[in-house]
């Protein structure tokens, strides 16, 4: 796959003004988050109120914060790769994978935080449980999520500009231009498997988004508010996007659509459900001290299920990109 994608790269003299601005925004927007996380690792309680569950297990939180620092630092590295001439020589998989992860982690925040602000503005944001200790000070969410949104916009813009020059041929045309014979049975099996596996997490997230509490832990059910329902609804949207994109590619449906539409659904949808499913599964392993707040078996099944769906759909996208790139290379030869 790496070699088949490489010939399309075009050398550039250096980043233009737009790329330089986007790179600066991506780097600067990482500073508040990295500063907070570094302070917490060092033992500071800035932004963490007394009684927060974050103070229950310092070792676990130090590990999680350290991982968070590494993930956010990767944004700075990616911004350099996407704007430097030597970035065109980076193997396709080595660049595409971290950008896919970044897309998956940032897309739900970029869509969810503004929606939560709207819900809160109309009086539907607070949790229903009175007397429970705050998790973080409110200003922390505003600073961190605003930074995440800026990172997502800047990094997304840089990647589109980069990919257009290096791999633009793989998403040109419409679905009816795609060779039907290139789609093997395994490709369709993956799409069907993803659709079947999506049923459980899709049902649970839809239930929780509509106000149901079956399968939720007692603490989570008690803390529900409008913001919780927004997040659950977004998980439904991203699951549907991932499965829809996979079916369109695997079965060549929506033949009048630009190829970029199913590819975008696959890219963003698979990244969001896989990365957040994996992150929530990882977070549930430690478990808070309060048993009522720990993830239930159904919650863990929902997280694991959406992670598997995302990985299967991502495999379909990789297969499509590799096959189309190889076909383009053969025609050029």
- Encode pLDDT of 79-98 as tens digits: 999 999 999 999 988 999 99
pLDDT block averages, 10 residues each, the chain of length 333: 41 72 97 95 91 79 89 94 93 93 95 92 60 73 95 96 88 79 77 97 96 88 87 97 95 90 96 95 69 80 96 93 69 54
pLDDT at 307: 97
d(CA 30, CA 35): 9
Summary mean pLDDT of the chain = 86
- Encode pLDDT of 97-149 as tens digits: 999 999 999 999 999 999 999 998 887 665 544 334 567 898 999 999 999 99
- Encode pLDDT of 14-28 as tens digits: 578 999 999 999 999
pLDDT at 126: 56
DSSP annotation string for 50-89: TT-GGGS-HHHHHHHHHHHHHHHHHHHHHHHHTTSGGGGG
d(CA 195, CA 244): 9
pLDDT at 331: 57
- Is the whole-model pTM more than 0.95? no
d(CA 104, CA 310): 10
d(CA 247, CA 245): 6
pLDDT at 262: 94
């Amino acid at each position: 796959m790496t070699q088949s994608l490489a010939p399309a790269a075009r050398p550039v003299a250096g980043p233009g003004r737009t790329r330089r601005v986007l790179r600066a925004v991506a780097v600067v927007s990482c500073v508040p988050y990295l500063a907070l996380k570094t302070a917490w690792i060092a033992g500071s309680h800035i932004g963490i109120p007394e009684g927060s569950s974050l103070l229950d297990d310092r070792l676990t939180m130090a590990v999680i914060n350290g991982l968070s620092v590494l993930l956010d630092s990767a944004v700075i590295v990616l911004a350099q790769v996407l704007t430097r001439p030597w970035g065109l020589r980076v193997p396709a998989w080595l660049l595409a994978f971290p950008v896919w992860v970044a897309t998956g982690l940032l897309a739900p925040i970029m869509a969810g935080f503004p929606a939560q602000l709207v819900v809160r503005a109309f009086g539907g944001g607070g949790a229903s449980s009175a007397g429970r200790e705050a998790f973080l000070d409110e200003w922390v969410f505003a600073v961190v999520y605003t930074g995440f949104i800026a990172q997502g916009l800047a990094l997304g813009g840089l990647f589109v500009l980069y990919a257009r020059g290096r791999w633009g041929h793989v998403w040109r045309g419409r679905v009816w231009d795609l060779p039907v014979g290139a789609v093997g049975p395994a490709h369709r099996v993956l799409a069907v498997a993803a659709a079947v596996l999506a049923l459980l997490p899709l049902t649970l997230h839809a239930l929780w988004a509509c106000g149901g509490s079956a399968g939720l832990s007692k603490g989570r059910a008690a803390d529900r508010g409008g913001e919780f329902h927004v997040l659950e609804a977004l998980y439904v949207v991203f699951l549907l996007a991932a499965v829809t994109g996979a079916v369109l590619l695997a079965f060549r449906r929506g033949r009048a659509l630009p190829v970029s539409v199913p590819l975008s659904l696959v890219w963003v949808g698979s990244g969001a459900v896989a990365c957040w499913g994996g992150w929530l599964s990882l977070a549930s392993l430690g478990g808070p001290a309060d048993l009522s707040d720990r993830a239930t078996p159904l919650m863990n099944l929902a997280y694991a299920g959406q992670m598997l769906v995302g990985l299967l759909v991502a495999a379909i996208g990789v297969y499509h990109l590799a096959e189309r790139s190889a076909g383009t290379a053969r025609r050029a030869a």
